[in-house]
Amino acid sequence: MKIAIVREQAEGERRVAATPETVKKFKALGADVAIEAGAGLTASIADADYAAAGATVADRAATVGGADILLGVQGPSPDSLIGAKPGAWIVAGLNPFGDRARVDAYAAAGYEALAMEFMPRITRAQSMDILSSQSNLSGYKAVLDAAAEYGRAFPMMMTAAGTVSAAKVFVMGVGVAGLQAIATAKRLGAQVSATDVRAATREQIESLGAKAIFVEKVAGIEGEGSGGYATEMSEDYKAAQAELVSGHIAKQDIVITTALIPGRPAPRLISDAQIATMKPGSVIVDLAVEQGGNVEGAVAGEVAERHGVKIVGHRNVPSRLAADTSALFARNLYNFLSAFWDKERNAPVLDEEIGNAIRLTQGGKVVNERLLG
Ligand code: NAD
């Protein structure tokens, strides 16, 4: 059994899908591990550390040659995998809705592509969940990015020269990233409020010491669909939410938006007219910018400015903390493969529940029902 890790190819991707720690653990399971030279450099991991952990460090062709399983943060290009075993697994974040052409190419090349972001949100798969591990650090980094763009302090400070007032931070979308954003902004001393469409988040917001801002008395308010994800809301709800948010946003210094609906463009939460009501110097961070954006005027990869308000739209926020996010991502991959490791076959064997959820391609075809449906 050969596990291979090629250097990430996507522009701006600094993470890596294995660390010396996970290499050692895969070796202990009985697998051989090969890694392309330089794969860990942008995540502060030297080739020598992989070699010391037992990996073979080689060029891409030698790394991929004869591989049974290819690990990636993002999906490697099919061309870069020539030489892997027929039917080899590709285990990575594969962006199945956003990059369907690549999924089709994996099928045509006969690979079995397993999309880690389709991991079901069930208790036993929590340690395999790349969305959670990466969103958690994105929520943290969003607050730091906001603080860096903001020309004022976060905490209230009483100085001999007078008092500096605390920043008001509003978090929209309280999933994994939003909860971490609330906690981080609190730690920095801000006055924090937050909102979501899922009623269950109210208690979570309050337990972090933040104020919950919620639309009341509108039909269809539950907002929770399958797997704990949000659903698309009714027009009545959207109108009530816009009104509530308008009043609140005008008083905020920092807004962090994280709202996503799986398989759909991100919901639009803030309009240009609402931005115009904010104080100059305020900062908005749109973590959903690559999925279409929660904020009108947000531009992926840029810090835009509207009405004196900065709109931060960094791409690939987890990659901005590549050492830590790589470590967590690599553990997610190890936790996944080791949970299904069959000692006799010296290979992982998936069960139906998880296999059917994450398998995109098999036997030359696209097989995942979320892509076929
Ligand atoms: P996500 O990234 O899909 O979305 C972020 C947040 O945006 C969600 O809380 C969502 O409700 C919210 N949102 C969507 N539309 C909105 C709108 N119009 N206005 C305001 N907010 C809006 O979410 P996530 O971080 O992946 O978490 C989704 C759920 O999954 C949560 O309930 C989380 O606790 C749960 N979860 C479960 C597990 C597990 O059991 N293994 C692991 C991680 C997360």
Tokens found for residue 146: 């906001």
Centre of ligand 1 to C-alpha 116, Å, is 17
pLDDT digits 0-9 by tens, 5-24 = 999 999 999 999 999 999 99
Residues forming beta bridges with residue 170, ordered by sequence position: 193, 255
pLDDT at 232: 72
Residue ranges of domains in the chain: 2-128+321-364, 136-318
pLDDT digits 0-9 by tens, 95-107 = 999 899 999 999 9
Q: What is the mean pLDDT of the chain?
A: 94
Residues known to be catalytic: 121, 126, 129, 132, 229
65-69 contacts: CB < 8 A, separation 24 or more?
66/2, 67/2, 67/3, 67/4, 67/34, 68/1, 68/2, 68/3, 68/347, 69/1, 69/2, 69/3, 69/4, 69/31, 69/337, 69/348
Q: Is the pLDDT at 224 greater than 90, yes or no? A: no
Band (pLDDT 50/70/90 cuts) for residue 277 is very high
Among 11-15, 179-183, 222-226, the minimum mean pLDDT is found in 222-226
Ligand 1: atom nearest CA of 120 is 41
Tokens found for residue 174: 């309280």
pLDDT digits 0-9 by tens, 112-131 = 999 999 999 999 999 999 99
pLDDT digits 0-9 by tens, 145-159 = 999 999 999 999 999
pLDDT at 243: 86
Residues forming beta bridges with residue 35, ordered by sequence position: 5, 57
| Span 136-318 CATH architecture | 3-Layer(aba) Sandwich (3.40)
Q: Is 129 in the pocket of ligand 1 (CB under 6 A)?
A: yes
Reported as type and span, the H/E element at residue 162 is strand 162-164
Q: Is 285 in the pocket of ligand 1 (CB under 6 A)?
A: no
Q: What's the whole-number mean pLDDT along residues 231-245?
A: 80
Ligand 1: atom nearest CA of 259 is 7
Centre of ligand 1 to C-alpha 73, Å, is 21
What's the fold here for domain 2-128+321-364? Answer: Rossmann fold (3.40.50)
pLDDT at 262: 78
Please give the model's pTM, rounded to 2 decimal places: 0.93
Residues forming beta bridges with residue 163, ordered by sequence position: 158
Would you say the CATH fold of 136-318 matches that of 2-128+321-364? yes
Residue closest to 349 by CA, chosen among 333, 368, 363, 336:
336
Q: Is 175 in the pocket of ligand 1 (CB under 6 A)?
A: yes
| ipTM of this complex | 0.94
Centre of ligand 1 to C-alpha 263, Å, is 13
Ligand 1: atom nearest CA of 176 is 25
Coil, strand or helix at 154? coil
Residue closest to 296 by CA, chosen among 259, 276, 277, 270:
270
Residue closest to 96 by CA, chosen among 114, 72, 70:
114
Residue nearest to atom 33 of ligand 1 (CA): 175
Q: Is 263 in the pocket of ligand 1 (CB under 6 A)?
A: no
**CA torsion through residues 195, 258, 43, 84, sign:** positive
Tokens found for residue 270: 């803030």
